[in-house]
Amino acid sequence: MSPAVEVRLDGWLRQFGAPSRESVDADSIDHLIDALEERYPRLKFKLRDETGHLRRYVRVFLDGKDVSATTGVSTPLSDVRVVDILHSIAGG
């Protein structure tokens, strides 16, 4: 079993049923999102698009480091303690 990581979701994402903080057992961002979507089905397609990639305005930070534009969902969670998932707002 993978070690649990603390997951923190921003306010916009919490409106889909997830709490602000939660402990999740996962070995990658992809598996972490799978677990969150299983617990909170209304999150489906809010974090990842239909192809499984992170949505353009979703940012994932592992212990403060943004991995959204680099390794994205395939990023392993070994030695990670805190995962922050933020949904940035775009506008003009």
Q: What is the CATH number of the domain that holds 44?
A: 3.10.20.30
pLDDT of residue 88: 81
| Residue 18 falls inside a structural domain | yes
Instruction: Please give the average per-residue pLDDT across 59-65, as a whole number.
Output: 95
Q: Do the beta carbons of residue 49 and residue 30 sit within 8 Å?
A: no
| Residue 92 falls inside a structural domain | no
| Residue 72 falls inside a structural domain | yes
Residue 2 clears pLDDT 70, i.e. is over it = no
Q: Which two tokens stand for residue 80?
A: 């990670």
What's the structural domain count of the chain?
1
| Residue 45 falls inside a structural domain | yes
- For residue 52, CA distances in Å to 31, 69, 74 come to 11, 14, 10
| DSSP secondary structure string for all residues of 29-77 | HHHHHHHHHHH-GGGTTTSB-TTSSBPTTEEEEETTEE-TTTTGGG-B-
pLDDT for 9-56, tens place per residue?
A: 999 999 999 999 999 999 999 999 999 999 999 999 999 999 999 998
Structural domain harbouring 27: 4-87
Residue 24 three-state SS: strand
Residue 91 clears pLDDT 70, i.e. is over it = no
